[in-house]
């Protein structure tokens, strides 16, 4: 069985966008939950406000052998500057991927 939840949210001024998905799958006694998020924010800035763009990567892996569970998280944060119609914009973004694995009891049908 596989379930998929998808959200696409945009602010009224169209300067912020959040896209997220959550996928749940059961396969041979293992349940996997995969969550993806993308957040983007656009701001108009003056040329005197320019700084070095941000960049950050975070990775976390966890395994619990006694409970037969595992998780993985990867998050990328950053920014970039864009010139559009002679205006300077700062784009801030965050991407994240989280994967959770755990065992589920096997059900036998008779």
In a domain, 10, yes or no: yes
- Residue numbers of the domain that contains 97: 2-103
Task: Give the residue with greater pLDDT, 106 vs 47.
Answer: 47
Domain total of the chain: 1
Q: What is the pLDDT of residues 19-51, one digit of tens each?
A: 999 988 888 888 889 999 999 999 989 888 788
Residue 69 lies in a domain: yes
- For the segment 1-20, the average pLDDT, to the nearest whole number, is 82
Is 64 a member of any domain? yes
What is the DSSP secondary-structure string of the chain? -EEEEEEEEE-TTS-EEEEEEEEEEEETTEEEEEEEEEEEEEEEE-GGG--PPPEEEEEEEEEETTTTEEEEEEEEEEEEEEEETTEEEEEEEEEEEEEEEEE-------
Give per-residue pLDDT as tens, 68-104.
889 999 999 999 999 999 899 999 999 999 999 988 8
Task: Say if CB 33 and CB 26 are below 8 A apart.
Answer: no
Predicted pLDDT at 39: 92
- What is the sign, positive or negative, of the torsion defined by CA atoms of 39, 16, 80, 50? negative
């Amino acid at each position: 069985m596989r379930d998929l939840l998808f959200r696409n949210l945009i602010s009224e001024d169209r300067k912020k966008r959040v896209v997220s998905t959550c996928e749940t799958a059961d396969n041979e006694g293992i349940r996997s939950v995969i969550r993806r998020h993308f957040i983007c924010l656009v701001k108009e800035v003056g040329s005197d406000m320019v700084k070095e763009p941000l960049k950050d990567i975070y990775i976390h892996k966890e395994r619990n052998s006694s409970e037969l569970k595992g998780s993985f998280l990867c998050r990328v944060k950053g920014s970039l500057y864009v010139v559009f119609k002679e205006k300077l914009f700062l784009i801030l973004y965050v991407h994240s991927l989280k994967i959770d694995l755990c065992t589920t009891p096997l059900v036998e049908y008779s």
